[in-house]
Structure 1
């Protein structure tokens, strides 16, 4: 599956840690940053794939599960450490669920928002995979 956990460099200090994301940490230039917060624990987010976009998800606070599907296999990754990022390359279906109280999901994206880059129907996603995407 075209995903990878990335270690976010950190500077440890008795007064608190600092996580640092510079150009050499990610395999793409960041074009958009956004974050999800105040998410009810029963909410499901995501439910789509991207044709070109790549992104890194980071649990800045709390925890949540990321369910990933490539059309053949499925994998669930729990994000709960602010010094770990989940790189999700294009053509991977993603769903986010099981948000803890106070969870914040930071997203670093390789492109600006483009609705045409989204596949929001799972059957359409599977069809695109069978067409070689």
Structure 2
């Protein structure tokens, strides 16, 4: 069986698989082994090797010098830059490496076996990825660490949260920044919050997060029913709130600034300063069943509520 007639194969390419979708092109000196599954509208550059058990989704671009080994799956709309490397380690076999829809891997990046690159994530040029990359995260360095999140406005907060400056409105549905009062005298400064005036719920639990290594990421979940109120009482921490359609990123760096995260909003905390102490007030006692820890499950739950 020959590939679909709409597939363009360079005369100096070797294509042994018949599982190529319409509109796909394979450039010179590339080798696609029998059994490999290639979707529609895929672009395969020069000197690319695709082994028999690799899977490439629709509208994927694979630039020159890339090898897709058995166990590598690229979902739809993925971009793989020139000479990006999917590491192949005998000790890691039979590892399954998954690059989720819309993710981008820069030139000369290295992806260790058995990892998942989340949907919409971006791996920067030359990064060495040694752990899973969350959805929409931007990672760089060796070992790769999160430096930001794609399509996420970074909100500029008023210096020192001045009384005269308005706090920005967040895009993520229901998430709200709250200015907390400050009292200063010769003995020092005091900030406080009152239920109703500042806190939109009566706390049933609190916890503190501290001594977090700078490159570690916390949160990465949503709650079905629990509200949370975050205050960075010392140092600073970056926070992302995501309602499934819109996201915001902000820096909590003052005990005068609180962030209310309602149920069904995905929350992420990262880029902790070495001295950061994050206080979290929760509307409910701990309940493992209240957590949504998979971003796919979160999107499905948000979609079902909207429909």
Shared fold (TM-score, shorter chain, > 0.5): yes
Tell whether 2:242 aligns with 1:66.
no
Stretch of structure 1 that moved more, 56-65 or 8-17? 8-17
Q: Distance in 1 between matches of 2:263 and 2:297?
A: 15
Residue 296 of structure 2 is matched in structure 1 by 123
Question: Equivalent of 2:207, from 30, 34, 55?
Answer: 34
Q: TM-score, normalised by structure 2?
A: 0.42
The answer to whether the aligner puts 1:78 opposite 2:257 as a matched pair is no
Once the 2 structures are TM-superposed, how far is the Cα of residue 21 of structure 1 from its aligned partner?
2.1
C-alpha displacement at 1:14, in angstroms? 3.4
Alpha-carbon offset, residue 98 of structure 1 = 0.5
- Partner in structure 2 of residue 48 of structure 1: 221
**What displacement does 1:32 show?**
0.3
> When you count strand as a share of all residues, which structure comes out higher?
1
Aligned CA-pair RMSD: 1.0
1:15 counterpart (184, 187, 197): 187
- 46-55 or 14-23, which deviates more: 14-23
Q: How many residues are matched?
A: 133
What is the rounded CA distance, in whole Å, between the counterparts of 1:126 and 1:17 in structure 2? 42
Please give the TM-score of this superposition, normalised by the length of structure 1: 0.96
SS of residue matched to 1:72:
coil
- Aligned equivalents of 2:180, 2:286: Cα separation in 1: 24
Structure 1, unpaired ranges of 5+: none
For residues 7-55 of structure 1, what are the alpha-carbon distances to aligned partners after superposition, in whole Å with 9 as ceiling and x for unaligned?
A: 1122112331111222232110010011001000011000000000001
For 2:240 and 2:254, locate their aligned partners in 1 and report how far apart those are by CA, in whole Å: 17
Query: Any unmatched runs of 5+ in structure 2?
Result: 1-172
